[in-house]
Homo-oligomer: A and B are copies of this chain.
Amino acid sequence: MTSTRDEFALLDETWSSVEPPAARRMLIAAAAAFSVRGYHATTTRDIAAKAGMSPAAVYIHYRSKEELLFQISRVGHATSLSVLTAVSEPDPVVRLASAVRAFASWHAEFHTTARVVQYELSALTPEHLAEVVVLRRRIEAAVREMISAGVDAGVFEVPDVRGATLAVLSLCIDVARWYQPAGRRTPAEIGDLYADLVLRMLGAPRESYVQNA
Contacts and interface: CB of A to CB of B under 8 A. Distances in A.
A212 B193 CA distance: 26
Nearest to A175: B170
Interface stretch (A6-14, A78-86, A141-149, A159-167): A159-167
Interface residues of A, number: 37
Contacts of A193: 160, 163, 167
A154 interface: no
Contact of A40 (B38, B163, B166, B212): B38
Interface in A165-182: 166-167, 170-171, 173-175, 177-178
Interface string A26-37: 000000000011
A60 interface: no
Contact of A178 (B38, B115, B170, B175): B170
Total copies of the chain: 2
B171 A167 contact: yes
Contact of A197 (B118, B177, B178, B201): B201
Interface string A182-213: 00110000000110110011110000000011
A194 B167 contact: yes
A67 interface: no
A163 to B, nearest CB: 5
A1 interface: no
Contact of A177 (B164, B174, B196): B174
Contacts of A174: 170-171, 173-174, 177
Interface in A16-47: 36-41
Nearest to A199: B201
A119 interface: yes
B40 A164 contact: no
Interface in A119-171: 119, 122, 157, 159-160, 162-164, 166-167, 170-171
A193 B164 CA distance: 8
A100 to B, nearest CB: 12
